[in-house]
Structure 1
Amino acid sequence: MAETRLDLRDVPPPQRHPKIQAAFEDLDSGECLTIVNDHEPTPLYYEFKAEVESFDAEEYTVEQRDEQTFVAELPKE
């Protein structure tokens, strides 16, 4: 599975979701967007699940690497 990776830890919070949405839209079916964030991206998960038809919520994963590093994979159907 092809992967696109975004490290958002230095991106101002108001710019994060638009940047994630644009990167996800650029993916082909079967590809995955990996984001690195400074907090658990639970609100993003629910936003994508409710609003993005091509988001594969069943294959979504998130891993906490340390107190301020969360790595989430957002697969595209």
Structure 2
Amino acid sequence: MAETKLDVREIPPAERHPKIHDAFAALESGDTLVLINDHEPKPLFYEMQAEVDGFDADGYSVERRSTTEFVAKFPKK
């Protein structure tokens, strides 16, 4: 059960979701993608919930650390 951190704050918005999906796909079952973002990733949560079978939506969590830092955990079943 490992965590992989991905800070997307410096990545252009149009490139973020593909990088996130690639990073999530590379995880092993039971691992978690820890996403550091500049806004709450609620749209990404809904996208993952609808499109990614391995996403454990019940285990998802997000913490707002500042106005420009949100840390979300996307666990893989």
Query: Which residue does the alignment assign to 1:30?
Result: 30
Paired residue total = 77
State the TM-score, normalized to the length of structure 1: 0.98
Root mean square deviation, CA, Å: 0.4
1:76 matched to 2:76: yes
Which residue does 1:39 correspond to in 2?
A: 39
Instruction: Please state how far the C-alpha of 1:41 moved relative to its aligned partner.
Output: 0.1
List alignment gaps of at least 5 residues for structure 1: none
- Offset of 1:75 from its aligned partner? 0.1
Q: Secondary structure at the match of 2:35?
A: strand
Runs of 4+ with deviation above 4 angstroms: none
TM-score by length of 2: 0.98
Does residue 63 in structure 1 map to residue 47 in structure 2? no
Structure 2 runs not aligned, ≥5 long = none
